Amino acid sequence: MERTQNSETLSKLQEELLSGNLQREQVLALLNEGTTPHRRGQSWLPALGVFGAVVCFTGLAVLVGQHWNELGSLMRIALTLGSGLIAYGVGLLLFLEKDAKVFATIAFIFSMLLLPSGLAVTLHEAGYNLGLDSCQLFMAVTLFLAFIAPAVILRSNAMLVGAIAAGTAVFFVATDMLVRGIAVPQHFSEYRALFTGLFYVALGTVLREGEFRVTSAGLYTVGSVVALGAGFSLMQWKPNQNIVWELLYPGLACAAIYGGAELRSRAIMVNGAFALNAYIIKISVQYFSVSIGWPLTMILTGAGIVGVALYASNLYGAPQYQAANTNDA
């Protein structure tokens, strides 16, 4: 329906331009006066709001910390959990207003900073042991449900980030509970990190269209760093090196470069290139440090960087060049 209305509006505008009732300069002036300043004026608001929320949270944390021993249980809960719930409710109300979504995001971020500590304080004051896995799992699941609802219903990027963080906590706590009391598999933490990074990249691919494009880009960056870092850690160093992962890792790095090209993600491509170069340096230091390894490493590293730069230039530069030629024609 919205696309049909847009088409009708554009058709009417074209008719007015062709009939001479409306001049091209008038349309351009309207766009420059109405759209460009609005966007320029608001482009810095989210970043400023996030900074303000963090500063406010820091100030509240310092203030409460200074007088923590003087406060009773109810006051501690009110200042932490209560403040977080108020910010959460304000964010929900503001998000329903079309022109207040920036401020709603700020309120959501403030609630995301307060609710975890508020929930922990509430459970501690109620006599629960926060060190228990069951208690940590309850907190993580509660926060996930609180953040995922507005993320899905209201399409809020801020709440989606909080839901992803809480969901990651659920995964780590649940897997800790599964191996509790049994022999922990070797490199268990590294494999969990590898799975988490790959899941972030997959989730970013699912979310790359629509309102969650910003979150998708962040997932690509964080996911590729975590996955490639975990894979690098799994290789280990001599004399405990893992031969299997030393053979697999270049494939993982090359897959990141190719996948970044297919997904049009510079972050994944660059991280893959750095990972491949780090692998070359590691292998050279480990096996060829007293031979031609260092010069060969420099040659291969430089060639790899140049190759990735040329590939990225062809991938991202060519469409712009073609578009420019089309406009000139």
Per-residue pLDDT tens for 177-217? 888 878 777 888 999 999 999 999 999 999 988 788 889 99
The number of domains in the chain is 1
Give a yes or no: residue 269 inside a domain.
Answer: yes
Give a yes or no: residue 91 inside a domain.
Answer: no
Residue partners of 5: CB distance under 8 A and separation at least 6? none
Give a yes or no: residue 323 inside a domain.
Answer: no
94-98, 149-153, 285-289: which range is least confident on average? 285-289
Give a yes or no: residue 327 inside a domain.
Answer: no
Residue 35 clears pLDDT 50, i.e. is over it: no
Mean pLDDT of the chain: 80
pTM summary value? 0.74
Give a yes or no: residue 95 inside a domain.
Answer: no
From residue 233, give the alpha-carbon distance in Å to each of 167, 197, 212, 275, 278: 24, 13, 31, 11, 12
Whether 171 contacts 238, CB under 8 Å: no
Whether 253 contacts 275, CB under 8 Å: yes
Domain that holds residue 204: 188-315
Whether 236 contacts 242, CB under 8 Å: yes
Question: Which of 254, 255, 237 lies closest to 246, judged by CA?
Answer: 237
Give a yes or no: residue 132 inside a domain.
Answer: no
Check residue 59 and give its pLDDT.
80
Check residue 319 and give its pLDDT.
43
Question: Would you state the structure tokens that stand for residue 134, as one six-digit string?
Answer: 């069951």
Give a yes or no: residue 114 inside a domain.
Answer: no
Give a yes or no: residue 288 inside a domain.
Answer: yes
